[in-house]
Amino acid sequence: MTNESSRDRGLQIAPLLLVVMLALVMQACTNAPPPAAEGSAAPIAIGSGSGSGSGDDGSGSGSGQADARAPQNHTLTAGDTLYALGLKHGCTTAELQAANGMDDDDDKIRAGETLLIPACQPAEDRPRKPVIPGQVYIVQSGDNLDNIASSAGCSLPELMQANKLTSVAIYSNDVLNIPVCAAPQAAVAQDPAAAGKGAKPVVTKEGEYLVQPGDSLGLIALKFDTTIDALKAANKLDGDKIRAYDTLVIPKPGAPIPAEKPKRQPSTKPPKPRAGKGPAKGEPKEEAPAEPRAEREAPPAPANASLDALMASKGFRGDSTFKAYVIRITLSADRSRIVSEKRFDYRGTGDDVSNWNPASTVKLFAAIAAMKKADSLGFTGNADIQFGKAEHTRKLKSLVEDALGPSNNIAYDFLATFVGHDELNGNFFTRGNGFQRTALRRAYESSRWMQMGFSSSFAPSPRLLITEGSKSRTIDARLGTIDGGCYSAACTSLHDLAETMRRLMLQEQLSGSQSFRLKPASLRLIRGVLRSQRSRGMEVVEGLDESAFGPGTQFYHKAGYAGDWFSDNVFVKDPSSRTVWVIAMANYPGRGSLSRGARVLGSLIGEGALSPR
């Protein structure tokens, strides 16, 4: 009886087990990737949400990346490559090929295919061999020349010259000679983020330190176990501002800090009137406007007050990241020349080059330099430029319009490549052209740019063919060698942005030594795009327009947004006044970070607080 009962129970359970097993098999089949179509590559997988955007952020990035350590499926879209997909998911091309049964020399993939991405270990998690100057280095999977050069403390051109390379393409197991580069370059290769975490400080000689890009007094104090006050005292610094490549004296631990002398407070009394006398020596004479415009009384502020003091009188307390630089320019009655200028620098931030992202504001530099080059070669904006391959042929006018209008990153890359690395950083960004410290080094939206066959660095430039009508000109491929003193994709300051806008918009009023000497058609092209309406990046213009200027005021500007840094470079022309303005601003984080500062500046300008008294 007992045996029969057990047998009956077994017969009842067996069908249930069979159902469960069938369900598991069906689920496995459903989750398996579909077989490759006959004659095509086996599937490779990548996470969902691939792609990149183009805009005024200077970067272009996709979103929704899945965990690169988990196998996953990805349906290929146009423009996907094994190299780019490998970078995104921490795999090498060889690992992708092996996971999908592809031959080592097979890199052909097609839109619409489903590809399998294996569980790779991201390159940053893999042990890397050191790059040692003066020795050879064997290229590993995931390496690129930019990273190897940075690790060696060299520039990309130096590394390419040391190995007689004409292309940035390198492959696993290639052998590279690592040169010994100049000390400032090796110093710059140090990641500022590593400061205070065991990174070796750059010492010029005992007791002195060479300031690096990204440094601050706080970081340096942390490196040398001292204090900000001690650093300022040892170097007789009045403020916290330091410049890259300055040399600082490092105080010995426990060194006494001398007592600070009390600063003389500015007088609050208005200056005495200069009865019957003209302007003070060195000041240009102001001409009376044809139709004087009534100004509202300025708010109480010290005589010759700084911009930060004037903004503070309006209740503005700028963040530590807020930067502003303003130029007030008064023209003659017939507007044919400049009769006076005054510059306002918010807390000395106009010269800052490090610690902020100028993003797409630098596209104005590339546009001006490109049109200046075309002018010198006898071409106009209607010229067609072929960058290496025939498929990369673009009209110069369209590149300028796309780079400055919708702020297309690839159009900007083409403009900088047309000018050339050394012509930009050696011949254009000079003090004679009004630049103190600006350089353009790497492409924006570099992943897409590299997929098109170009280098992420502007140093290598392909052969150019310029044609317009019956006229043509060929420029051979070039390799830039100038070190522009910039180790980001682009470096500049608000001063350089504002000065460039000043020279562009007032070329007719400036002397030849301060003129870009652009031809009238080139001026009209760039100015016209700067005045065009935009769907985004209008926050500063809208803030200034609230109360500062009269009806019909014209605004020309180029905004930038990247890494949550928002900046704008604005030229303001009020037809009812012979005073024009250049206003460059930057702040973090977000597009709205400049709105209040713009409104306060607009209010001060409208009330005459920044005008001569």
Could you report the per-residue pLDDT of 507-527, keeping only the tens digit for each? 999 988 889 999 999 999 999
- Supply φ then ψ for residue 248, to 5 degrees: -110, 140
CA dist 588 and 596 (Å) reads 13
Give the DSSP H/E element, type plus range, for residue 187: helix 183-188
3-class DSSP assignment, residue 261: coil
Given this model, what pLDDT does residue 261 score?
Answer: 45
Residue indicated by tokens 């129970």: 9
- CATH class of segment(s) 192-249: alpha beta
DSSP characters over 35-73: PPPTTSPPP----S------STTSS-----PPPTTS-EE
Instruction: Give the pLDDT confidence of 297-317 residue by residue, as tens digits.
Output: 333 444 346 898 999 998 998
pLDDT at position 151: 79
The amino acid sitting at 104 is D
Nearest to 36 by CA among 90, 73, 87: 73
Which residue, among 366, 452, 444, has the nearest Cα to 53 in the 3D structure? 444
Per-residue pLDDT of 97-126, as tens digits, reads 777 777 655 567 878 888 888 877 654 444
CA distance 177 to 148: 11
Both structure tokens of 395: 């009209």
Model pLDDT for residues 348-383, shown as the tens digit of each residue: 999 999 779 999 999 999 999 999 999 999 999 999
Q: 447 pLDDT band (50/70/90 cuts)?
A: confident
Place of tokens 């790497």: 442
HEC letters along 516-584: CCCCHHHHHHHHHHHCCCCCCCCHHHHHHHCCCCCCCCEEEEEEEEECCEEEEEEEEECCCCCEEEEEE
> What CATH number matches the domain at 128-188, 3.40.50.1860, 3.40.190.10, 3.40.50.970, 3.10.350.10?
3.10.350.10
Question: What is the amino acid identity at position 12?
Answer: Q
Q: What is the CA radius of gyration of the chain?
A: 30
- In order, the DSSP letters of 210-259 are E--TT--HHHHHHHTT--HHHHHHHHT-SSS---TT-EEEPPPTTPPPPP
CATH 3.10.350.10 in the chain, residues?
33-126, 128-188, 192-249
Choices 3.40.50.11400, 3.10.350.10, 3.40.50.300, 3.40.50.720: CATH for 33-126: 3.10.350.10
pLDDT at position 40: 35
Rounded CA gap, 458 and 479, in Å? 9
pTM (whole model) above 0.75 = no
Q: Is 8 left (phi over 0), alpha (psi -120 to 50) or beta?
A: alpha
Pairing relationship of beta strands 175-177 and 136-138 according to DSSP bridges = antiparallel
Measured on CA atoms in the order 309, 311, 315, 319, is the torsion positive or negative? negative
Determine which of 215-219, 397-401, 537-541, 585-589 has the lowest per-residue pLDDT on average.
Answer: 215-219
Q: What is the pLDDT of residues 174-190, one digit of tens each?
A: 778 888 876 433 333 33
The continuous run of DSSP H or E covering 176 comes out as: strand 175-177
Confirm if 567 and 560 have CB atoms less than 8 A apart. yes
Q: How far apart are CA 364 and CA 438, in angstroms?
A: 12
34-57 residue pLDDT tens: 333 333 333 333 333 333 334 444
Q: How many Cα atoms occupy the beta-carbon half-sphere of 205 within 13 Å?
A: 0
